[in-house]
Amino acid sequence: AFPGGSTLTRTGITLLTPMYGSPEQHSGNPVTTASDIYQVGGVLYELLVGKPAPSGALESTQIDNGPPSRAARGTGRRSEIKGDLDAIVAKAMQADPNMRYGSATGMVFDLEQYLAGRPILARPDTLSHRFYRLIRRRPLLLPAVLAVIVVTAGYIVVLNNHNKEIQVEQERTAAAQAFMIDLLGSANPYGPSDRDRGKDMLVVDALDIGLERLRSDEYGEDYHLRAAILTSIGEVYGKLDRHQAAIQTRLEALALERELYGNVSEPVILNLRALAHQFRTVGDYDEAGQYYAEQLVAAQELYRPGDPQLALAESASGLYAHRRGDKERATELLEAAVAALGNASNDYAIDRIDSVVTLARVRGETSLGSTLEMLSEATNLADEVLGALSPMAGLARTQYATSLTLDRDFETAETLFFEAIDIYETRLGRDHGATLIALLNLGRLY
């Protein structure tokens, strides 16, 4: 076309190739570079599809070339054309010249961007489009991105569940605190708990009242909380020598825990073991034996060999076997427990010392060399972790001295007995059972 015009000097003659002419050329409007862009778009359309685009001779409002990918159905190239090439052709062949590329450079830029796998100007610069082009350039990036997304999503789910668990635990802690405050307030003579006894009420009386309230559903239907409080009350009953009350309360807690957590679960195992100890304390060894056996079987199913929690179950059953006179079974269980607890953290220091002392009692004069070595380590552990004046330090010294007496090292044994007795008298008193046992063993040494 000549500058400033769209036709030759001959009237009625239009300079164009009909199949590639732009709408403004067909309508006789002024022709600019935008018409060239339209024609290049038409050539690109035909190259992609294999046939010319609909003619621009139609009225502007009727032009609907449609994307090349639509016309390429059945050719096997549709997926390759769809997207960026559709957008480039559509922009080049807009009916409105002002909506096309402003120059050939712009169209060339988009074609080069497409070939390089980068975002083009003909499509909105969205994050999804940029990501799509990035994946086209780097195919191996997609699996890595998906892996990150999966891990992140999993972390968010875990974090959300953890936060919910924390919230539930906080609510239970608050409820437990309210229960304890209410329980301890039972001694208030002006309170609603027991006006008659008031400040003269004993701790065990307050526990009885608290237990009645707990059983009356006054504290709601949070059975996890109820089981935990029942277990705590049962433990306190036991320490106050209210063993029958302790057994009854723990049986209630155990029934709830079986339903809440299943028979093979940590809360159930702990309660089984505590009940076994309680029945043994009251002299019901047959009943105790059933609970010791069940807690050991459940622990063997729940924990791996060498786990400290399994060691605690073995130690408890080993002590029971010792009390029943089964030295072989007691030795087997206690040696396994001591070996496992020897690799455990200092959080299990008391359990390790207790298991070593029990094993030493079971062995007696058998394997004295290894027994004395274990007791020496247990004494050092008690001093380092619990303190040289702790009752456990006294316990370790008492048994160490007893075994040294069997080994006829009387001088060292006497020194250790003196140390143990000093600890017990300072911490527990002259008449405490532990003090008396140490004195008795010192008498045997003499």
- Please give the DSSP secondary-structure letter assigned to residue 50: S
The alpha carbon dihedral of 207, 210, 212, 215 has a sign of negative
What percent of the chain has pLDDT above 70?
72
**Tokens encoding 380:** 């050092």
Give SS3 for 305: coil
What are the tokens at 20? 């590639």
Give the three-state DSSP class for 337.
Answer: helix
| Spatial CA neighbour of 383 closest among 369, 367, 400 | 400
pLDDT value for 288: 95
pTM above 0.85, yes or no: no
- Assigned token pair, 195: 């006006």
pLDDT in tens, 14-36: 556 666 777 877 777 777 778 88
CA distance 214 to 230: 8
Question: What mean pLDDT, rounded, does the chain reach?
Answer: 80
> Quick check: 350 and 321 in contact, CB under 8 A?
no
326-350 mean pLDDT: 94
Quick check: helix, strand or coil at residue 376?
helix
* DSSP, res 61: G
Predicted local confidence at residue 207, as pLDDT: 73
Least confident of 31-45, 302-316, 358-372, 409-423: 31-45
Helical residues (DSSP H) of 138-265, grouped into ranges = 141-184, 203-215, 223-239, 243-261
Q: Is 185 helix (H, G, I), strand (E, B) or coil?
A: helix
Q: Provide the pLDDT for residue 197.
A: 46
Burial 58-69 (b: 16+ CB within 10 A, else e): eeeeebebebbb
pLDDT at 49 over 70: yes
SS3 292: helix
d(CA 248, CA 47): 89
Q: What is the CA radius of gyration of the chain?
A: 44
φ, ψ for residue 179, nearest 5 deg = -60, -45
- The Cα-based distances of 365 to 178, 301, 359, 416 in angstroms read 53, 34, 11, 19
DSSP state letters, 129-140: HHHHHHHHH-TT
Q: Which of the residue ranges 33-37, 111-115, 116-120 would you say has the lowest mean pLDDT?
A: 116-120
Tokens representing 440 are: 């008795």
Report how far apart the first and last C-alpha atoms of the chain are (Å, whole number): 129
Report how far residue 93's alpha carbon sits from residue 63's, in angstroms, rounded to the nearest whole number.
10
Does the pLDDT at position 192 exceed 50? no
Q: Using an 8 Å Cβ cutoff, are 95 and 23 in contact? A: yes
Question: What's the confidence (pLDDT) of residue 334?
Answer: 96
Two tokens, residue 133? 């082009």
Evaluate whether 372 touches 407 at the Cβ level (below 8 Å). Answer: yes
- Per-residue pLDDT tens over the stretch 50-102: 777 776 555 444 445 567 877 777 666 777 777 788 888 888 888 888 888 88
C-alpha span between 106 and 111 (Å, rounded): 9
Phi then psi for 271, rounded to 5 degrees?
-70, -35
For residue 381, pLDDT beyond 70: yes
Return the pLDDT at 8: 42
Least trusted range by pLDDT, from 51-65, 238-252, 294-308: 51-65
